Amino acid sequence: MQNNPYAKKRNTTKVGQPVLVLFNKPFDVLCQFTDNSTSPRKTLADYITVPDVYAAGRLDRDSEGLLLLTNCGKTQHQISDPKHKMAKTYWVQLEGNISDDALAQLSAGVQLNDGPTLPATALRLPEPDVWPRQPPVRQRANIPTCWISLTITEGRNRQVRRMTAAVGFPTLRLIRAQIGDWHLNQLAPGQFTVMDLK
Strands (E), the chain: 19-25, 54-55, 64-70, 88-95, 111-112, 115-116, 121-125, 145-152, 171-179, 182-183, 192-196
Supply the DSSP symbol for 105: H
Residue 60 known to be catalytic: yes
DSSP 160-171: HHHHHHHTT--E
DSSP H or E segment with residue 101: helix 100-108
Catalytic residue among 28, 35, 46, 60: 60
By annotation, the residues acting in catalysis are 60
